[in-house]
Amino acid sequence: MKNVTVDFSKKTGRAIKPMHAVNNGPAGSRVRQTRSNFDAFRAAGIPYARTHDSSFYTGYGGEHTVDVHRIFKNFDADENLPESYDFEMTDMYMADILSVGTKPFYRLGASIEHQKKYGTRVPKDFAKWARICEHIIRHYNEGWADGFRYGIEYWEIWNEPECKNADGTTPCWQGTIEQFAEFFITAHRHLKGCFPHLKIGGPALCSPWNEQLVSYLLGEFKKAELSLDFFSYHCYCWVGPHSLRETIEQAQKMLEKYGFADTPAILNEWNYCKGWLGEDFEFSMRAIKGLFGSSLTMGGMLLAQKSPLAMLMYYEARPCAWSGMFATEGLYPLKGYYPFVFFNELYKLTNEVETTEDDGEHLMTGAATDGTESALALTYFLSADEQATPATVRIALKGLPEGGSTVTTRVIDADHDGTPLREDVFTTREGALYLTLAPHTSLLLTVKAREQ
């Protein structure tokens, strides 16, 4: 028997944070004979979509989309002239993201380049690159060049400058880390000077575990007196959700060490990856598309909510091998989509409440209330190396509404896609549910007062 306790009367003082953000937006067309996931995106209440690797998908505009070198195609052109920019496809993509109620989190830089290098080369004029980005921001937020007034808040400088492939090649930055530090500082100073009201940050590191590199960059940022609005990094879980929690703790340790303790940390690429080569990689790509990936996603969100992290962004909503959310051959939801729906129910309730579990290695929980309605989310996760054993779980419910309540249990398992499993009525302020869960099952319990 495993035990979970939730007390809906005890708020933690923390808000439910946007842990169900993603990389990239809705796909498909609403005007041609093809499937789309616009309605599903809206239904999940995805709060932010980071625009990294957007140019890999033709449905977003392909090689004409988002990346700085794809919008400003000739670096020798005059950055002050509107005709030097090609905004057409990125305009379409931004409008699509906003149309489903999601906010763009704009990555300034280039998509990863495993073969020929274009956008990941070291810019030959750092200050000019920053001015180009300034004009991109003005186009989307201030109406420049027949643009818009979207009020896009988050602008991230670059992506994974330290990334290295197994053969030693560098797919994201073709210069040295010393060059990158100078480049980042130049761009950040300029953009923050132009837009003090926006959130300008980065640098979207592969990982916070390379302490020598992180120490160098944070040290340089500190010497330059940068006021980072957020510090971003990535994590691909090698075992399960707890890999994510360990990485969050490591990043926070490094931020505190270099005087950035109050800088919001955003983990804006994450998913499961047992290994990057051979059978481990193939296993990972299969696993993230089923219940294993669904449970890992649910658990990661719930663990991150209880951490110092400001935002968590899943990689990837774009139709591709990395997406556990949507099928590439029809854009219909996979099992990994429904945890976003569940977490959004907590997000809408705003206020986190206390939960405890006696097997924190396998049960991850989180709960919220708005004072009228409440909800508890839970997942039962086992790593790929553990025996697939069902678990009986006792869920103790405290702080239920006076006068009685109805508790509806929705489930993600082999037979359910976030649909109701059972409904229970409680006449007192405390009660318990007993459920037998197959491995990688996720639950959402919603609590409503009974009508008098």
**What is the number of domains present in the chain?**
2
Q: Which two tokens stand for residue 229?
A: 């609005």
- Are both 300 and 429 inside the same structural domain? no
β-pair partners for 28 = 36
pLDDT value of position 451: 76
When comparing pLDDT for 32 and 388, which is higher?
388
Q: Is residue 118 in some structural domain? A: yes
Distance CA 446, CA 368 (A): 10
**Residue 12, in any domain of the structure:** no
Q: Per the domain annotation, does 4 fall within a domain?
A: no
Dump pLDDT digits (tens) for 304-338: 999 999 999 999 999 999 999 999 989 999 999 99
Find the CATH number of the domain harbouring 172: 3.20.20.80
For 142-170, what is the mean pLDDT? 96
What DSSP string describes 236-274?
EESSSHHHHHHHHHHHHHHHHHTT-TTSPEEEEEEEE-S
Query: Residue range 53-73: average pLDDT?
Result: 96
Q: Which of 309, 327, 349 is the last residue of a domain?
A: 349
Same domain, 152 and 219: yes
Are 373 and 268 contained in the same domain?
Answer: no
Helix axes 177-194, 126-141, angle to 10 degrees: 40
* pTM, two decimal places: 0.96
Same domain flag for 37 and 102:
yes
Q: Are residues 251 and 376 in the same domain?
A: no
**Does residue 165 sit in the same domain as residue 205?**
yes
At 452 the pLDDT is 61
Residues 381 and 263 in one domain: no
Q: How far apart are CA 274 and CA 408, in angstroms?
A: 35
- Please count the CA atoms within 13 angstroms of the CA of 7 that sit on its side-chain side: 6
The reported pLDDT for the residue numbered 34 is: 67
> Rounded to an integer, what distance in angstroms lies between the CA atom of residue 282 and that of residue 291?
16
What DSSP element (H or E) covers 349?
A: helix 338-349
- The answer, yes or no, to whether residue 35 has pLDDT greater than 90, is no
- Find, among 96, 94, 88, the residue nearest to 28 by Cα: 96
Q: Encode pLDDT of 267-314 as tens digits.
A: 999 999 999 999 999 999 999 999 999 999 999 999 999 999 999 999
Q: What is the pLDDT of residue 169?
A: 93
Mean pLDDT value across residues 355-364: 96
With contact defined as beta carbons under 8 Å apart, do 375 and 345 qualify?
yes
> Residue 31: which pLDDT band, with cuts at 50, 70 and 90?
low
Which of 323, 349, 375 represents a domain boundary (last residue)?
A: 349
CA diameter of the chain: 73
Q: Identify the domain containing residue 160 by its residue range.
A: 17-349
In the structure encoding, which two tokens stand for residue 207, read together?
A: 């990982």
The per-residue pLDDT for 32 is: 60
Out of 310, 329, 349, pick the residue that ends a domain.
349
The pLDDT of residue 29 is 73
pLDDT in tens, 185-237: 999 999 999 999 999 999 999 999 999 999 999 999 999 999 999 999 999 99
**What confidence tens digit (pLDDT) does each residue in 96-138 have?**
999 999 999 999 999 999 999 999 999 999 999 999 999 999 9
